[in-house]
Amino acid sequence: MTAESVGDQHTAGMLGEHARLILGSLRGQWAESCDTDESQGITRLVTSRGWVLCGSVTVPGGPVTTDDARLSGAVIAGCALSPAGPLTLTIADEGGSRSSELVVQAPWAAEGPRGEAVAMRSDARLGVREESGPRFATDNALAT
């Protein structure tokens, strides 16, 4: 199923709905670290609960840099999946007084600490991987 057909069905498509549920767990997390590979134009954003988001990230005010102050410590207040491919995260400062949009252009991937993942290819094809258990930490480590 392509992301376009998911978009046409709005949230009715099974794959798109599942992706939205997985991505919904990003809300409330804060950006713990940000690393960029300028040669490839890829940013890796790690959240407080162990999610890793990789892709070409744009934010208002210029290109993203490693340990970007606009992202580090920002809280993910919202998440929107576009049928055309981009993922848009609404980020806010700690107090919630200022917010902006972080846009991740396709291709991108978001992987959770328990093996769940959502990826969008450059041709707007969406992929979802079910939770498969902790991949990089034990259940106890994730609980803390």
> pLDDT, tens digit, for every residue of 2-42?
333 333 333 336 778 889 889 999 999 999 999 999 888 89
> pLDDT, tens digit, for every residue of 71-118?
888 999 999 998 888 999 999 987 767 889 999 999 999 999 888 999
Q: How far apart are CA 119 and CA 99, in angstroms?
A: 25
- Domain residues of the chain, as ranges? 3-135
**Residues 86-122, buried b or exposed e (16+ Cβ, 10 A)?**
bbebbbbeeeeeeeeebbbbbbbbbbbbbebbbbbee
DSSP 19: H
CB-based contact 88:55 (threshold 8 Å) = no
pLDDT at 13: 64
pLDDT at 18: 86
pLDDT at 142: 65
Q: What is the CATH number of domain 3-135?
A: 2.30.310
